Amino acid sequence: MGATTLYKAPRGTADILPAEQRHWHYVEERAVALARRHGYQRIDTPVFEVAGLFVRTVGQETDIVQKEMYTFEDRGGEEMTLRPEGTAPVCRAYLEHGMHNLPQPVRLYYFCPVFRYERPQSGRYRQHHQFGVEALGDADPAVDAEVIGMAWGLMQDLGLRDLSLLVNSIGDSACRPAYLDRLREYYAPRLEALCPDCRARHQRNPLRLLDCKRESCQPYALEAPRSADHLCPECQEHWQSLLGHLEILGIPYRQDHRLVRGLDYYTRTVFEVHPQEEGGQSTICGGGRYDGLIQELGGPPTPGIGFATGMERMVLNLQRQGVAVPAEAPRPIAIAHMGPAGQREAIRLARRLRSAGLTVVVTPAARSLKAQMRHASAMGAAVTLILGEEEIRKAEVTLRDMDAGRQESVPVEGLEARLAECTPRPQ
RNA sequence: GUGAGCGUGGCCCAGUGGUUAAGGCGCCUGGCUGUGGCCCAGGUGAUCGAGGGUUCGAAUCCCUCCGCUCACCCCA
């Protein structure tokens, strides 16, 4: 990739090459199957939205809004933003299409690219892909448990090991303000000892002091007042009920009172899944409840909860853990041929076999049979059909089993059935 | 936005001042006329990230820029 390459994929974006597709399809397949088993339906929203949608819901103070959004003015002079997260658009769609008239909760899943202007590093991109689910219109803690169970279940289905599930409750508009005051009070006499970032956040966003990763700030965060200890009765009941459901489901959660989240719309339940070994961008999955979001968008008070997972991070962990994933494509049947007549027949035969559902590749023309065989072998062909003068005259093909190294003459008539017998197995 | 490391053919990489930049993988061809995977031989392919400077002479030293990677911030 020298200067000879005129264009490159933009920084922080990546081509997903054929060699990696098997992992992607594996994850997508399992995720979709999981969502369907739980009665979730797919929704696709536009790649860009009016900027205000995100500013309003994600929060003016968040990093996403302050420095990470791809916002541009379209030709009509409107401020548009490339989707930096998946929840707000889904809620917008819920409202726009009157989904509150459907049986509640409305269960939706999505699979989409999201964009954030950040410095890329391992497991972090400017364009990445998320699979997520949202359950809208039901405040029952059982729904929280369902969604958390799905997040955890997906990881199990994928075969990922050594993950931890962290949960916390950060209260709601009734109890959080008082808790935030308690936090500020607690931190006020300790400001001197904190890092500059934390000092700056003390007034604006004290919750974030809790998840500061600086060694020197850790001890204070550990001993800080816990949100779960300062919940109003309703939130407390919700929280206890959720924990009860998680116990019943046998989901191995860990309470982490330092778990907050970077988006403002979360209420009550928040959770994350990450690999046990820390370091780098570890969060595979994050989510929580957002009971005020739809109201914030001008809709009726409507509770909601969901999560999003990063495709790239799941794939990364699959590869790190060496999880075996099924082959992407079946092994092809190759057709080698000689002479102009041979090529004509090869192309015709290929079309016929394909319409019977077989995977067929015609070997490159203008090469010796030797070269064509070499090519067939390199393509991973399970079977090679050879078509030359002789075969055409007799209305036969030479069928060579590439693994066994044996071949025989068979009539073209009824070839499909014969080929179906030697079903090409995955590589 | 901050910090560190690195940039040699499609990929992995040798070469740290001196003849036409070495090797491996890959790709293509051939090893007698229609046969692969091993082996052998040959071929394709690099303005050594870009620009400037030092020097008789630089891929090798210096500067600037660009890019990549990793980490911080934060998130999936």
Summarize pLDDT for A114-128 with one digit per residue, the tens: 999 999 999 999 999
Q: Which nucleotide is nearest to A87 (CA to C1')?
A: B76
A204 touches strand B (CB under 7 A): no
Closest CA to A187 of A173, A203, A169: A203
A 10 A CB-CB count for A78 gives 11
Domain(s) labelled CATH 3.30.930.10 in chain A stretch across 18-175+231-320
Residues 355-374 (A) near nucleic chain B, CB < 7 A: 364, 367-371, 373-374
Average pLDDT over residues A307-326: 93
Token match 């509150």: residue? A100
Interatomic CA distance for residues A376 and A333, integer angstroms: 8
Angstrom distance, A2 CA to B67 C1': 10
b/e for A109-143, b at 16 or more Cβ within 10 A? bbbbebbbeeeeeebbbbbbbbbbbbbbbbbbbeb
Domain(s) labelled CATH 3.40.50.800 in chain A stretch across 333-421
Interatomic CA distance for residues A157 and A161, integer angstroms: 10
Summarize pLDDT for A145-181 with one digit per residue, the tens: 999 999 999 999 999 999 999 999 999 999 999 999 9
Angstrom distance, A15 CA to B47 C1': 27
- Judged against a pLDDT cut of 90, whether residue A25 lies above it is answered with yes
What is the CA angle A281-A7-A48, rounded to 5?
55
pLDDT-wise least confident of A44-58, A108-122, A322-336, A387-401:
A322-336
Angstrom distance, A9 CA to B17 C1': 36
A390 touches strand B (CB under 7 A): yes
Q: What is the pLDDT of residue A423?
A: 56
pLDDT over 90 percentage in chain A: 78
A124 touches strand B (CB under 7 A): yes
A394 touches strand B (CB under 7 A): no
Interatomic CA distance for residues A270 and A366, integer angstroms: 63
Q: Report, at the CATH architecture level, how domain A18-175+231-320 is classified.
A: 2-Layer Sandwich (3.30)
pLDDT-wise least confident of A10-19, A130-139, A416-425:
A416-425
Distance of CA A287 to the CA centre of its chain: 13
**ipTM of the complex in this document:** 0.88
Q: Which nucleotide is nearest to A342 (CA to C1')?
A: B34
Interatomic CA distance for residues A269 and A236, integer angstroms: 11
Summarize pLDDT for A192-232 with one digit per residue, the tens: 888 877 888 888 888 888 887 777 787 888 889 999 999 99
| Helix A196-204 vs helix A176-187: crossing angle, to nearest 10 | 140
Residues 48-67 (A) near nucleic chain B, CB < 7 A: 62-64
Chain B bases near protein Cβ (<7 Å):
1-3, 8-11, 26-31, 34-37, 46-50, 67-76
Summarize pLDDT for A84-110 with one digit per residue, the tens: 999 999 999 999 999 999 999 999 999
Q: Quick check: A134 and A108 in contact, CB under 8 A?
A: yes
Mark residue A331 as left, alpha or beta (left: phi above 0; alpha: psi -120 to 50; beta: remaining): beta
Summarize pLDDT for A264-287 with one digit per residue, the tens: 899 999 999 999 765 566 899 999
A312 touches strand B (CB under 7 A): yes
Q: What is the pLDDT of residue A279?
A: 56
Task: Look at the domain A333-421 and name its fold.
Answer: Rossmann fold (3.40.50)
